[in-house]
Amino acid sequence: MNNALGFVVSRRPYPPQEMFELDGPDFVPCPELWDWIKQTFLDSDSPLFNEDHKHLMDYQYPKIAVMWAAGGFEQKGRMVIGQAEKVMINVGGWKKRRQEVQYQQWFGTQPEYLITLDAYYCSQANDADFCALIEHELYHIAQEKDEWGTPKFSQSTGLPKLKIHGHDVEEFIGVVRRYGASEDVKKMVEAANQRPEVAKSDIYHACGTCYLRVV
Protein backbone atom coordinates (compact mmCIF):
# COMPACT_ATOMS: atom_id res chain seq x y z
CA MET A 1 0.00 0.00 0.00
CA ASN A 2 1.69 3.21 -1.07
CA ASN A 3 -0.61 5.25 -3.31
CA ALA A 4 -2.75 7.74 -1.36
CA LEU A 5 -0.45 8.06 1.64
CA GLY A 6 2.92 8.12 -0.08
CA PHE A 7 4.35 5.45 2.24
CA VAL A 8 5.03 1.77 1.65
CA VAL A 9 3.36 -0.42 4.28
CA SER A 10 1.91 -3.93 4.23
CA ARG A 11 -1.24 -4.44 2.16
CA ARG A 12 -4.34 -3.68 4.18
CA PRO A 13 -6.91 -6.43 4.78
CA TYR A 14 -10.17 -6.27 2.84
CA PRO A 15 -13.58 -7.64 3.85
CA PRO A 16 -14.37 -11.13 2.51
CA GLN A 17 -16.34 -11.11 -0.75
CA GLU A 18 -18.95 -13.40 0.78
CA MET A 19 -20.25 -10.48 2.85
CA PHE A 20 -21.53 -8.81 -0.32
CA GLU A 21 -23.34 -11.87 -1.62
CA LEU A 22 -27.03 -12.61 -1.14
CA ASP A 23 -27.58 -14.18 2.31
CA GLY A 24 -23.94 -13.46 3.21
CA PRO A 25 -22.93 -13.06 6.87
CA ASP A 26 -23.79 -9.79 8.64
CA PHE A 27 -20.65 -9.86 10.79
CA VAL A 28 -17.23 -11.43 10.28
CA PRO A 29 -14.35 -11.34 12.82
CA CYS A 30 -11.13 -9.98 11.39
CA PRO A 31 -8.06 -10.92 13.50
CA GLU A 32 -5.75 -10.14 10.56
CA LEU A 33 -6.90 -6.51 10.66
CA TRP A 34 -5.72 -6.14 14.27
CA ASP A 35 -2.34 -7.56 13.23
CA TRP A 36 -2.20 -5.02 10.39
CA ILE A 37 -3.16 -2.19 12.76
CA LYS A 38 -0.34 -3.11 15.12
CA GLN A 39 2.20 -3.35 12.30
CA THR A 40 1.05 -0.12 10.66
CA PHE A 41 0.21 2.30 13.49
CA LEU A 42 1.63 0.81 16.71
CA ASP A 43 5.07 -0.39 15.59
CA SER A 44 7.67 2.35 15.99
CA ASP A 45 9.48 1.07 12.88
CA SER A 46 6.47 1.70 10.65
CA PRO A 47 6.36 4.91 8.56
CA LEU A 48 2.77 5.39 9.78
CA PHE A 49 3.58 4.84 13.47
CA ASN A 50 1.53 7.10 15.75
CA GLU A 51 2.81 7.50 19.31
CA ASP A 52 -0.70 8.54 20.40
CA HIS A 53 -1.73 4.86 20.13
CA LYS A 54 1.33 3.24 21.72
CA HIS A 55 -0.67 2.26 24.84
CA LEU A 56 -2.45 -0.33 22.66
CA MET A 57 0.68 -2.13 21.44
CA ASP A 58 0.76 -4.79 24.16
CA TYR A 59 -2.89 -5.75 23.72
CA GLN A 60 -3.41 -8.98 21.84
CA TYR A 61 -6.41 -10.08 19.80
CA PRO A 62 -9.11 -10.69 20.94
CA LYS A 63 -8.68 -8.54 24.06
CA ILE A 64 -9.13 -5.82 21.48
CA ALA A 65 -11.14 -7.42 18.68
CA VAL A 66 -11.98 -6.15 15.21
CA MET A 67 -14.82 -7.22 12.95
CA TRP A 68 -16.53 -6.32 9.68
CA ALA A 69 -20.21 -5.43 9.54
CA ALA A 70 -22.11 -5.92 6.28
CA GLY A 71 -23.10 -2.23 6.27
CA GLY A 72 -23.30 0.90 8.36
CA PHE A 73 -26.32 2.23 10.23
CA GLU A 74 -27.94 5.63 10.68
CA GLN A 75 -27.81 7.43 14.01
CA LYS A 76 -29.01 10.98 14.65
CA GLY A 77 -29.16 11.65 10.94
CA ARG A 78 -25.62 10.45 10.20
CA MET A 79 -24.36 7.22 8.73
CA VAL A 80 -22.11 5.31 11.13
CA ILE A 81 -19.28 3.44 9.38
CA GLY A 82 -17.10 2.62 12.39
CA GLN A 83 -17.52 2.12 16.10
CA ALA A 84 -15.23 1.42 19.04
CA GLU A 85 -16.84 0.20 22.24
CA LYS A 86 -16.03 -1.27 25.61
CA VAL A 87 -17.75 -4.64 25.66
CA MET A 88 -20.20 -4.85 28.56
CA ILE A 89 -23.07 -7.26 29.15
CA ASN A 90 -25.59 -5.56 31.42
CA VAL A 91 -28.35 -8.16 31.32
CA GLY A 92 -28.92 -11.46 33.07
CA GLY A 93 -30.43 -14.89 32.46
CA TRP A 94 -30.75 -16.13 28.88
CA LYS A 95 -30.03 -12.70 27.40
CA LYS A 96 -26.65 -12.62 29.12
CA ARG A 97 -25.84 -16.19 28.12
CA ARG A 98 -26.87 -15.61 24.49
CA GLN A 99 -24.47 -12.68 24.22
CA GLU A 100 -21.67 -14.64 25.88
CA VAL A 101 -22.18 -17.55 23.46
CA GLN A 102 -22.16 -15.18 20.49
CA TYR A 103 -18.81 -13.66 21.58
CA GLN A 104 -17.44 -17.16 22.13
CA GLN A 105 -18.43 -18.14 18.59
CA TRP A 106 -16.92 -15.01 17.09
CA PHE A 107 -13.73 -14.63 19.12
CA GLY A 108 -13.34 -17.62 21.44
CA THR A 109 -13.81 -15.33 24.44
CA GLN A 110 -15.40 -12.00 25.36
CA PRO A 111 -13.23 -9.07 24.18
CA GLU A 112 -12.57 -6.08 26.39
CA TYR A 113 -12.91 -3.68 23.47
CA LEU A 114 -14.43 -4.13 20.03
CA ILE A 115 -13.94 -2.13 16.84
CA THR A 116 -16.61 -2.71 14.17
CA LEU A 117 -16.22 -1.38 10.63
CA ASP A 118 -18.61 -1.01 7.70
CA ALA A 119 -17.30 -3.61 5.25
CA TYR A 120 -18.84 -1.96 2.20
CA TYR A 121 -17.33 1.44 2.99
CA CYS A 122 -13.94 -0.09 3.73
CA SER A 123 -13.96 -2.08 0.49
CA GLN A 124 -14.48 1.15 -1.49
CA ALA A 125 -12.37 3.61 0.54
CA ASN A 126 -8.95 4.74 -0.65
CA ASP A 127 -5.95 4.09 1.56
CA ALA A 128 -5.98 7.50 3.23
CA ASP A 129 -9.69 7.40 4.09
CA PHE A 130 -9.38 3.83 5.36
CA CYS A 131 -6.41 4.71 7.58
CA ALA A 132 -8.18 7.83 8.87
CA LEU A 133 -11.20 5.71 9.85
CA ILE A 134 -9.02 3.15 11.63
CA GLU A 135 -7.11 5.83 13.55
CA HIS A 136 -10.34 7.60 14.46
CA GLU A 137 -11.56 4.41 16.16
CA LEU A 138 -8.18 3.85 17.82
CA TYR A 139 -8.33 7.34 19.33
CA HIS A 140 -11.59 6.35 21.02
CA ILE A 141 -9.67 3.70 23.02
CA ALA A 142 -7.58 5.95 25.24
CA GLN A 143 -5.38 5.29 28.25
CA GLU A 144 -6.75 6.37 31.61
CA LYS A 145 -4.83 9.06 33.49
CA ASP A 146 -4.80 10.13 37.11
CA GLU A 147 -5.58 13.65 38.37
CA TRP A 148 -2.00 14.75 37.54
CA GLY A 149 -2.18 13.44 33.98
CA THR A 150 -0.01 10.38 34.64
CA PRO A 151 -1.02 7.30 32.59
CA LYS A 152 -2.59 4.49 34.62
CA PHE A 153 -1.62 0.80 34.46
CA SER A 154 -3.35 -2.32 35.73
CA GLN A 155 -1.78 -3.67 38.92
CA SER A 156 -2.68 -7.25 37.97
CA THR A 157 -1.49 -7.31 34.33
CA GLY A 158 0.80 -4.31 34.02
CA LEU A 159 -1.06 -3.31 30.87
CA PRO A 160 -2.28 0.26 30.32
CA LYS A 161 -5.76 0.87 31.75
CA LEU A 162 -8.09 1.79 28.91
CA LYS A 163 -11.30 3.77 28.55
CA ILE A 164 -13.59 5.02 25.80
CA HIS A 165 -12.77 8.65 25.00
CA GLY A 166 -15.04 11.12 23.22
CA HIS A 167 -14.04 13.39 20.35
CA ASP A 168 -11.79 16.36 21.03
CA VAL A 169 -14.33 18.50 19.14
CA GLU A 170 -16.09 17.07 16.05
CA GLU A 171 -13.00 15.00 15.31
CA PHE A 172 -9.81 13.94 17.05
CA ILE A 173 -7.01 16.48 16.74
CA GLY A 174 -4.59 13.66 15.87
CA VAL A 175 -6.72 12.53 12.91
CA VAL A 176 -6.92 16.09 11.55
CA ARG A 177 -3.17 16.52 12.06
CA ARG A 178 -2.36 13.36 10.10
CA TYR A 179 -5.10 13.24 7.44
CA GLY A 180 -6.55 16.74 7.22
CA ALA A 181 -9.93 18.18 8.20
CA SER A 182 -13.30 16.82 7.12
CA GLU A 183 -15.89 19.20 5.69
CA ASP A 184 -17.59 19.50 9.11
CA VAL A 185 -14.30 20.38 10.80
CA LYS A 186 -13.47 22.88 8.05
CA LYS A 187 -16.80 24.62 8.69
CA MET A 188 -16.00 24.73 12.42
CA VAL A 189 -12.57 26.25 11.75
CA GLU A 190 -14.12 28.79 9.41
CA ALA A 191 -16.67 29.75 12.06
CA ALA A 192 -13.96 29.96 14.73
CA ASN A 193 -12.01 32.40 12.57
CA GLN A 194 -14.98 34.76 12.32
CA ARG A 195 -15.89 37.40 14.86
CA PRO A 196 -18.39 35.89 17.39
CA GLU A 197 -22.00 36.78 16.68
CA VAL A 198 -22.78 36.88 20.39
CA ALA A 199 -20.48 36.73 23.43
CA LYS A 200 -17.44 34.51 23.75
CA SER A 201 -18.51 31.46 25.75
CA ASP A 202 -17.13 28.08 26.70
CA ILE A 203 -20.34 26.21 25.95
CA TYR A 204 -18.56 22.86 25.72
CA HIS A 205 -18.05 22.70 29.49
CA ALA A 206 -21.56 23.99 30.24
CA CYS A 207 -23.50 21.56 28.07
CA GLY A 208 -24.57 18.39 29.85
CA THR A 209 -24.75 16.43 26.58
CA CYS A 210 -21.17 17.28 25.61
CA TYR A 211 -19.98 16.50 29.12
CA LEU A 212 -21.60 13.07 29.08
CA ARG A 213 -19.98 12.25 25.74
CA VAL A 214 -16.55 12.53 27.29
CA VAL A 215 -16.84 11.06 30.80
**Tens of pLDDT, residues 122-143:** 999 888 888 888 988 998 898 9
Asked if residue 94 is part of any domain, the answer here is yes
Judged by phi (left if over 0) then psi (alpha if -120 to 50, else beta), residue 66 lies in beta
Asked if residue 5 is part of any domain, the answer here is no
Asked if residue 112 is part of any domain, the answer here is yes
- Can you list the residues of the chain whose pLDDT is less than 50? 2-4, 6-8, 197-198, 200-215
Q: How far is CA 113 from CA 3, 61, 80, 81, in A?
A: 31, 10, 18, 17
Q: How far apart are CA 144 and CA 149, in angstroms?
A: 9
pLDDT score for 1: 53
Asked if residue 115 is part of any domain, the answer here is yes
- Domain of 186 in residue numbering reads as 17-214
Structural domain count of the chain = 1
Supply the pTM of this predicted model: 0.79
Q: How far apart are CA 82 and CA 38, in angstroms?
A: 18
% of the chain surpassing 90 pLDDT: 46
Asked if residue 11 is part of any domain, the answer here is no
Asked if residue 88 is part of any domain, the answer here is yes
Torsion angle of the four alpha carbons 35, 28, 132, 149, in this order, in degrees rounded to the nearest 10: -70
Ranges assigned E (strand) in 30-159: 64-69, 73-75, 78-80, 82-86, 113-118, 141-143
The full length of the chain comes to 215
DSSP string computed for 150-204: PBPB-TTT-PBPEEE---SSSS-HHHHHHH---HHHHHHHHHHTSPPSS----GG
Kindly report whether the peptide bond that precedes residue 196 is cis, defined as omega within 30 degrees of 0: no
